[in-house]
Amino acid sequence: MPKLTISDVEAGMVLSSDVKDRSGRMLLKAGMDLTEKHLKVFKTWGIVQVEIEGEEGVTSLQAVIDAHPELQQEANHAAKNIFRHVDLEHPFFTELIALWIQRYIKKRAADT
């Protein structure tokens, strides 16, 4: 099964493999239906990818970037302009900008 980034995973999807933290502690067993709470826990523990059952056809953000590499550069340039007045070192803004870039790339890829 392919791995999907957490930003591509939605509540209701089913894990095809166990999810463990960096030290190997079990966070969630394979076969579990994911909830919004699970996704928040994964982000808190630094889990960036999981394997999902039956998701071979899902296009991950990395696959979109690989198909349209110019979109990553375009998104970064646009983000620098839009977020030029914020503290880029603040964790909130770091996450906000990363999410904004992901949505920008997905939208622009869908428009092409």
Whole-number pLDDT of residue 99: 82
Residue pLDDT tens, the chain, 112 long: 567 878 888 889 999 999 998 888 999 999 999 999 999 998 888 888 888 887 555 556 667 777 778 988 999 999 999 999 999 888 888 888 988 988 898 888 888 7
Whole-number pLDDT of residue 103: 84
Looking at the structure, tell me whether residues 76 and 41 fall in a common domain. no
Range of the domain at 22: 3-51
Looking at the structure, tell me whether residues 68 and 36 fall in a common domain. no
Q: Is residue 70 part of a domain?
A: yes
Q: Is residue 92 part of a domain?
A: yes
- The structural domain count of the chain equals 2
Whole-number pLDDT of residue 69: 84
10 Å CB burial of residue 27 (0-12, 13-18, 19+) is: middle
Distances (CA, A) of 59 to 43, 66, 70, 79, 96: 20, 11, 17, 23, 22
